[in-house]
Structure 1
Amino acid sequence: MRVLITGGTGFIGQALVKALKDRGDEVVILSRNPAENPEIITALEQIQQPVDAVVNLAGAGIVDKRWTEARKQLLRDSRIATTASLLQWIEQQSKRPAVLISGSAIGYYGSQASQTLDEEAKPVDGFTHQLCADWEAAASKATELGVRVCLIRTGVVLGAGGALHKMLPPFRLGLGGPIASGQQWMSWIHLDDEVRAIVWLLDNPILQGAFNLTAPEPVTNAEFSATLGKVLHRPAFFPLPGLVLKLMLGEASELLLQGQRVVPVQLQASGFEFRYPVLQSALKQLLN
């Protein structure tokens, strides 16, 4: 299979590239960060041969900076405008890819306190919902071109990098703890399961629509903190006040202070089996 991956130099993209190459697939990477690598291109026009599948992971980091109006526009453009350009390119191909796996996030559901959210759950309006909804709408237009579309609503991805990498320093010093009350839900997934799920969707031609890419057992932030401390053999009793996050991140702090209890109903119904369904075993594998 020849696979085009947008955002292929990112945290998830790098792991996906490796997994596909390890099984013998050919990979073409579209990235804003070119390197001395013939697999990486910076424009769709550079693609010379047809591709069998597209995985669209492009998008600026959602909590890397405060959400100023300029930052919000960048977040939209890096997802929605990039996806729209991708759709234009697909339409122009004489041989179109069979499938588009397009990124989204559990932010689609908005901030919800305790309701368990499957793919049919009603979202709460807000910036993250509108961002993800518009992103998904742009990708879904590929169905009109005869392309199978899967929308992956990803939670907090745990791996050797990403969110876990940012959390570790205070926890390793014994200074970690829950954020604010710690009662907000965290819907997480091991990087290995994230990549395996994407490959599963690539390989199963009957699957389409929205899929929550989260482990089947979400936890509260307090549970997450306690489990991380236990795996590291460190105390985890120092809460991070919500006010501090609000001062640091402004509106973007809602992603850490409010939560979503998301479950992967459609993914499991399709027959996918998680390698790391339980948080403690996932953290042990990553940290030990």
Structure 2
Amino acid sequence: MARIVVTGSSGLIGSALVTALRERGDEVVRLVRRPPRAPDELQWDPSSRHMDPSALDGVDGLVNLASAGPGDKRWTASYKREILASRVNSTHTVATAVANADHPVRLVCASATGYYGDRGDEPLTEESAPGSTFFTDVVTAWEAAAAPAVTAGASVAYCRSGIILAGGGPMSRLLTLTRFGLGGPMAGGRMYWSWITLADEVGAILHLLDRPEITGPVNLVSREPVHQRDLVEAVARAMHRPSFFPAPRFGVHLVVGEFAAEILSSKRIVGDVLVETGFRHQHPDLESAVRWLVD
């Protein structure tokens, strides 16, 4: 049994991760911003970069998932600052705590494939250069915020997660549209979406927690990036619905604002440190992933 600290435990990934950790027998400590309401909770304040050093007493690993959702609000100037600050502050806070701990603590930090920007059909791996978008800058600063732990010699990995196929989160909007027969290609649908199911996302985080020898960025995606229109068509087939309702580029921008640039960007991620280090996806192909998603 391991003792694992989790931030962002109430989110889509965090809540599933906490369940998986407990199911395998680990003890979970959840860092929360509000006053604790349960024995497994400890309060922290990432906005002021405060964390009680005792939070890492007897802890084997820490998973940092705390951040403002990029699609939760329209991208105003103030919300873009919040997107950046929430990631940098939370990561710097836990990294400093790990650096000052009196024993080794494995640190697994959330990150995103937004690092690569909009790259068309170019095959991308963990070694690929960054893109040139707002979210590229966010991810660069996000990962750099773990510097205190890295400099102290701690074992740090960054989860560059792709599009999460799950019943909740942003994917729930696509499922709702498809259920009403309104799913279809966005801006022609030829952009590559690198995806991973929520079950495999959680499994990959567990994989990284258990293997401190894996450090640096790791792409949390399947090995089958697909065109957006193919993913939507697969979901529609599984739900026995049509998928011909197109969303033009200007329409997506009209609905979600500047975040549309991220939704419509193309990332063909083929490099997979996960598989090279022994990870096996539960849903390695689109068919099995969509069947799991719809079920």
Same fold (TM over 0.5): yes
Distance 1:221 1:106 in 2: 16
The residue type equivalent to 2:71 in the other structure is V
Q: Paired residue for 2:70, among 62, 66, 75?
A: 62
Match in the other structure for 1:153? 160
Percentage of pairs with the same residue: 39
Task: Give the SS at the match of 2:145.
Answer: helix
Match in the other structure for 1:176? 183
Match in the other structure for 1:21? 22
Q: Which moved more, 1:148-157 or 1:166-175?
A: 166-175
Match in the other structure for 2:149? 142
Instruction: Give matches, 1:183-262, under 5 Å.
Output: 183-262=190-269
Instruction: Give matches, 1:6-17, under 5 Å.
Output: 6-17=7-18
**C-alpha contact 2:110 2:160 (8 A) present in aligned 1:** yes
The residue type equivalent to 1:162 in the other structure is G
Distance 1:267 1:47 in 2: 29
**C-alpha contact 1:106 1:212 (8 A) present in aligned 2:** yes
The residue type equivalent to 2:41 in the other structure is I
**C-alpha contact 2:156 2:212 (8 A) present in aligned 1:** no
**C-alpha contact 1:9 1:29 (8 A) present in aligned 2:** no
Distance 1:124 1:179 in 2: 21
Q: Paired residue for 1:126, among 133, 158, 175?
A: 133
Gap runs ≥5 in structure 1 = none
Change (3 A) 1:278 1:135: same
Distance 1:27 1:281 in 2: 30
The residue type equivalent to 1:15 in the other structure is A
* Number of aligned positions between the proteins: 287
Q: Paired residue for 1:91, among 85, 96, 99?
A: 99
Q: Paired residue for 1:117, among 113, 124, 130?
A: 124
Deviation at 1:27, TM superposition (A): 0.6
Distance 1:182 1:116 in 2: 18
Match in the other structure for 1:103? 110
Task: Give the SS at the match of 1:179.
Answer: coil
Task: Give the SS at the match of 1:189.
Answer: strand
Deviation at 1:264, TM superposition (A): 4.1
Q: TM-score, normalised by structure 1?
A: 0.95
Distance 1:266 1:76 in 2: 26
Task: Give the SS at the match of 2:146.
Answer: helix
Deviation at 1:41, TM superposition (A): 2.4
Q: Which moved more, 1:105-114 or 1:263-272?
A: 263-272
Deviation at 1:32, TM superposition (A): 3.5
The residue type equivalent to 1:166 in the other structure is R
Gap runs ≥5 in structure 2 = 45-50
**C-alpha contact 1:80 1:134 (8 A) present in aligned 2:** yes
Deviation at 1:87, TM superposition (A): 2.1
The residue type equivalent to 1:89 in the other structure is A
**C-alpha contact 1:212 1:263 (8 A) present in aligned 2:** no
Deviation at 1:51, TM superposition (A): 1.2
The residue type equivalent to 1:13 in the other structure is G
Distance 2:269 2:191 in 1: 12
Change (3 A) 1:33 1:172: farther
Change (3 A) 1:33 1:118: farther
Verify: 1:279 aligned to 2:286, yes or no. Answer: yes
CA deviation string 1:222-279 (max 9, x = no partner) = 1011101111011100011221221222221111122211124211111111110111
Distance 1:249 1:164 in 2: 14
Task: Give the SS at the match of 1:225.
Answer: helix
Task: Give the SS at the match of 1:47.
Answer: helix
**C-alpha contact 1:79 1:135 (8 A) present in aligned 2:** yes
Distance 1:48 1:197 in 2: 23
Distance 1:120 1:8 in 2: 30
Match in the other structure for 1:2? 3
The residue type equivalent to 2:113 in the other structure is I
